[in-house]
Amino acid sequence: MKAVIQRVSEASVTIEGRKVADIRKGLLVLIGIEDASTTEDIQWLTSKIANLRIFGDENGVMNLSVKDIDGEIIVVSQFTLHASTKKGNRPSYIKASKPDIAIPLYESFVKQMEADLGKKVQTGEFGADMKVALINDGPVTIIIDTKNKE
């Protein structure tokens, strides 16, 4: 499981002209699921994201988490995070899970993220053609792969 976490001053997701998610200060989390992803990966990753200290404290030092600042989160499924570009110029997505595996894991990820954050998490729509808008604050972008958790 891979996540791209972006600290944002605002972010939104629009599908077919309809805004489905809209936050102010917080995190935009792009999540890529592969067949090897587990419930343990979900629990580890959501806890890591909720407690990641990437917001400035009173001294401007990145010392606060999204929970500490009462920030918001949007989670967007993005299978392209598992793109392989080793051969040629057309990426292969063979490592990304098919919907029958990915959807339940994505839904579990969102529920666990809400439990770790202690409030509702906004989302995109799995498999939809989404327009994601954000103002990356910093910019701060962190990439986490659960294969590298040890």
Cβ atoms < 10 Å from Cβ of 134:
18
CA distance 44 to 116: 10
CA distance 42 to 54: 20
For the chain, give the number of residues.
150
Of the residues 14, 39, 46, 80, only one is catalytic, namely 80
Q: For residue 148, what are the contacts with CB-CB under 8 A and spacing of at least 6?
A: none
Residue 80 catalytic? yes
CA distance 8 to 50: 14
Phi/psi at 130 (5° precision): -110, 150
Q: For residue 85, what are the contacts with CB-CB under 8 A and spacing of at least 6?
A: 91, 92
Q: Which residues are catalytic?
A: 80
